[in-house]
Amino acid sequence: MASPLNVVILAAGKGTRMYSDLPKVLHPLAGKPLLGHVLDTARTLKPARLCVVYGYGGDIVPATIRGDDIAWALQAEQLGTGHAVKQALPHLDPAGMTLVLYGDVPLTREGTLQRLLEQAGNDRMAVLTAHFADPAGYGRIVREAGKVTRIVEQKDAIAAERAITEINTGIIVAPTAKLAGWLGSLSNNNAQSEYYLTDTIAMAVADGLEVATAHPHHEWEVLGVNSKLQLAELERIYQRNYAMSLAGAGTHIIDPARLDVRGELTCGRDVVIDVNCVFEGKVVLGDRVEIGANCVLKNVSVAEGTKIQPFTHIEDATVGADCRIGPFSRIRPGTSLASDAHIGNFVEIKNSQIDQGSKVNHLSYVGDSTVGKKVNIGAGTITCNYDGANKHRTVIEDNAFIGSDTQLVAPVTVGAGATIGAGSTITRDAPAGELTLSRAKQTTITGWQRPVKNKGK
């Protein structure tokens, strides 16, 4: 197909069975709106013109889905698929071919659409069809002597036509100029009082055009979303396909049915991912990284040899080589961990730099801090970084030792090699190489009685 390609994506429907105020095409699949998946696939075809027809929800759809290459066409009244495509005509190149896609059919593959385009030409339109064991609800492909003559919708079909198992997916490609003429001649004299795009097939045949067909390799490529249940079913299909792709490239996915990638996940060699992990945004895992069960990673780069134990959450951070993180750790945005850092159970790190070989192993909060090399931060330590109005920074230099249950009240610096005694509250800089303490004198009160619960209460 040498002609310029127009792609029209129909995205105007409300999605009544979604039971939601959100336009159907904005519901997320794998962390991205349904329409976003269709646009991604459409762009791989390198169209000369790309038009999205929107309607329900008004400007919410174009405000959410950005793209300088998108022309937006408003379908103020939803009067059928043929009426929807007609709204796009002013944005199309009349000398080209037009491919019609659907914003709620997110899993159609590029290769399938390429095969469909190869079947089309200036004297030939093409329809993507599939054979379903249960075709209920779909328009049927009517053939005579093996050639497509028309499409009949389920509600308009007679019994013999309903027995046909070849269904119309709705995805077509046709010469734009001819398509425009057919759309202008559509009638809404049917069971739904709508202008059907499918009626253009009979018009093409009447004009002497051949109607060719192509077929997807997988049934799920042409499944649409009309309910939350169908959305969940496509989510599982998408995730299993992604997991199998990773496994095929060498990643050890413990259970492909229990993986969720809501963005892009890149894995090196010998990576192991346990069950129920979620990867959001862009995540890169280096060679020999191990991810324990029930972890969530969002926009994270993890260098080789690092082990992340179960129930760890990491977001907008970088992790160096050979680190040990978790279980039950939380690494928040702005954090970078150098190689061989250890972040243990119930530790939270926020907007901090932890240098090589440093350890925060237990029950601590380190926020807005710069931590040097080979620092040990004891259990229960917190950096008091917020004064109620502003954030302040803590600096802990190389080889410092922070005793358990210490509060470092920022802004404060702990010098290289310094030791902070357990239970201290540090409000001034601690000098390098020295022991710094801050404790009240221990007192014993003799004869004191612990309160006793009143009986009867």
Question: Within 10 A of 164 (CB to CB), how many other CB atoms are there?
Answer: 17
Token look-up 């926009």 returns 299
Q: Does 362 qualify as catalytic in the annotation?
A: yes
Q: Identify the bridge partners of residue 362 per DSSP, sorted by sequence position.
A: 345
Q: How many CA atoms lie within 13 A of 222 on its CB side?
A: 24
Strand, coil or helix: 98: strand
- Quick check: 135 and 165 in contact, CB under 8 A? yes
Q: Identify the bridge partners of residue 283 per DSSP, sorted by sequence position.
A: 265, 300
The distance of Cα 85 from the centroid of its chain, to the nearest Å, equals 29
Task: Name the CA radius of gyration of the chain, rounded.
Answer: 31
In 3D, which of 140, 288, 320, 141 has the Cα closest to residue 213?
A: 141
- Quick check: 124 and 201 in contact, CB under 8 A? no
Pairing outcome for strands 166-175 and 97-102: antiparallel
- Kindly state the tokens that stand for 114: 């390429």
Q: What are phi and psi of 149, to 5 degrees?
A: -115, -30
- Quick check: 288 and 307 in contact, CB under 8 A? no
386: which DSSP letter? Answer: B
Q: What are phi and psi of 293, to 5 degrees?
A: -65, 150
**Catalytic choice (91, 215, 362, 392):** 362
Query: What are the residue numbers of the active site?
Result: 362
